[in-house]
């Protein structure tokens, strides 16, 4: 058995995290995170913003699968001013890693125990309904602390938030609680990636209307925000005081019509190693269910990555991977830990060689958008789908 790359490191790693990039040679499969691309994307997005507009980096769901702690450090270094996550657990992970930037929680928090946890870890919750105000106020009074909170209005997404036309009543309730301090008021678009801006503009109008009503009562919100990646790229007048950008920081576009707004580079690549190469005879079935039957003698390679790593089984027999800068077809059902590819066109490939599933390989470039299109889903879901079994390895081209 020959490996295309000589193993340089002989000492076994002491624990699961004790890996360096040079030890990529050990992995059967991994995710590569390009730190320079990530930081470049932050700078490009920031360049679209007015100097006073703040960039809040959305790093929920383990930074869309990229690894939350490392992404947080990289985006803050590159100029993001605050972070958004979905759950208290995600926030604690960042605080435990020593991150001190403001962190907003996008999800709802409804119990006194959770409020105490927020206060302890200095995480800033989103208030979405009046019922929360009583609980939050009581806990914070007992703790004798003041908690910054973000008010969410529902302007048409019909997800979290108080209906925009009840916004004033809601805000007045929060203002009556001395232990709560309104840090911002925000809403979220449902269709910002649609080339037709009609619904987005309606939501913006509703937001404006709610804010105008507050101002007419003498309350001036300290910070307003509305834009996700799509709205940030499509219309500067939607930026307000802060933009909440997720997808674009990871180098993907929320919609095809927004690709000319700013140059972005994908941050994540998925790679795996060939575990075995062999020739199977014409008529042989490949993988569970024999969904693929070799029409001729076929050189196949077994690759050490499968659906338990986040390669969707629904891509079986449709996936293309890149090997030595050439696209080759995946054949047969994708299994939990392995998949097979047809390497008849490159019969000399060897055990240990690296296959690119997502990313650049010579002239080939396979993106999460390609998979999303084939699966009838969106790139957000593809990025979040890579499992923790794949180590995240940071590379930097700087
Ligand atoms: C996830 C999320 C974002 C970021 O969305 P992208 O399209 O990835 O930029 C912004 N705001 C809210 C409320 C979100 O849930």
Where residue 1 falls among pLDDT bands split at 50, 70, 90?
very low
Annotated binding residue 204: no
| pLDDT reading at 4 higher than 70 | no
Catalytic, 296? Answer no
Annotated binding residue 336: yes
Q: Identify which of 63, 188, 253, 262 to mutate to test ligand 1's pocket (most ligand atoms within 8 A of the CB).
A: 188
pLDDT in tens, 233-258: 999 999 999 999 999 999 999 999 99
| pLDDT reading at 151 higher than 90 | yes
- Supply the pLDDT for residue 189: 97
What's phi and psi for 50, nearest 5 deg? -65, 150
| pLDDT reading at 224 higher than 90 | yes
Decide whether any atom of ligand 1 lies within 6 Å of the 65 Cβ.
no
The whole-angstrom separation of Cα 393 and Cα 27 is: 11
What are the C-alpha distances in Å from 330 to residues 220, 304, 342? 58, 13, 6
Which residue in the list 60, 70, 152, 271 is annotated as catalytic?
A: 60
The DSSP call for residue 181 is: E
pTM greater than 0.75 (yes/no): yes
| pLDDT reading at 356 higher than 50 | yes
Token match 């309730």: residue? 173
Decide whether any atom of ligand 1 lies within 6 Å of the 188 Cβ.
yes
- Would strands 320-323 and 298-303 be described as parallel, antiparallel, or unpaired? unpaired
Catalytic, 360? Answer no
- Supply the pLDDT for residue 269: 97
Q: Record the tokens describing residue 316, joined without a space.
A: 């079986």
352 CB-contact burial (10 Å; exposed 0-12 / middle 13-18 / buried 19+): middle
Decide whether any atom of ligand 1 lies within 6 Å of the 246 Cβ.
yes
Decide whether any atom of ligand 1 lies within 6 Å of the 229 Cβ.
yes
Residue 307 Cα to ligand 1 midpoint, Å, equals: 26
Q: By alpha-carbon position, which residue is closest to atom 10 of ligand 1? A: 228
| pLDDT reading at 309 higher than 70 | yes
Which residue in the list 169, 217, 288, 350 is annotated as catalytic?
A: 288
């Amino acid at each position: 058995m020959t490996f295309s790359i000589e193993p340089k490191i002989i000492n076994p790693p002491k624990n699961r995290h004790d890996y360096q990039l040079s030890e990529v040679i050990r992995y059967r499969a991994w995710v590569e995170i390009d730190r320079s691309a990530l930081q470049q994307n932050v700078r490009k997005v920031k360049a679209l913003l007015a100097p006073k507009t703040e960039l809040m980096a959305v790093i929920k769901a383990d930074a869309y699968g990229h690894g939350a702690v490392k992404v947080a450090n990289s985006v803050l270094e590159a100029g993001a001013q605050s972070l958004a996550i979905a759950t208290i657990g995600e926030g604690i992970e960042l605080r435990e890693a020593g991150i001190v930037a403001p962190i907003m929680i996008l999800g709802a928090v409804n119990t006194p125990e959770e409020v105490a946890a927020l206060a302890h870890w200095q995480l800033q919750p989103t208030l979405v309904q009046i019922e929360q105000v009583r609980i939050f106020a009581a806990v914070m009074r007992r703790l004798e602390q003041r908690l910054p909170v973000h008010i969410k209005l529902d302007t048409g997404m019909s997800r979290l938030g108080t209906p925009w036309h009840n916004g004033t009543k809601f805000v007045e309730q929060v203002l009556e609680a001395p232990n709560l301090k309104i840090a911002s008021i925000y809403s979220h678009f449902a269709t910002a990636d649609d080339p037709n801006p009609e619904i987005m503009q309606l939501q913006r109008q509703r937001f404006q209307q709610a804010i105008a009503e507050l101002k007419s009562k003498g309350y001036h919100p300290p910070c307003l925000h509305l834009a996700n990646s799509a709205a940030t790229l499509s219309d500067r007048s939607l930026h307000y005081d802060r933009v909440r950008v997720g997808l674009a920081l990871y180098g993907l576009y929320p919609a095809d019509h927004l690709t000319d707004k700013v140059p972005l580079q994908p941050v994540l690549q998925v790679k795996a190693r060939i575990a075995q190469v062999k020739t199977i005879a014409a008529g042989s079935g490949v993988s569970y269910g024999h969904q693929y039957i070799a029409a001729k003698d076929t050189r196949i390679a077994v690759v050490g990555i499968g659906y338990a790593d986040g390669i969707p089984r629904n891509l079986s027999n449709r996936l293309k991977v890149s090997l030595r800068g050439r696209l080759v077809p995946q054949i047969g059902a994708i299994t939990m830990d392995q998949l097979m590819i047809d390497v008849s066109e490159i019969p000399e490939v060897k055990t240990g060689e690296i296959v690119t599933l997502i990313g650049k390989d010579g002239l080939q470039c396979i993106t999460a958008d390609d998979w999303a299109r084939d699966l009838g889903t969106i790139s957000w879901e593809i990025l979040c789908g890579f499992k923790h079994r794949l180590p995240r390895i940071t590379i930097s081209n700087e």
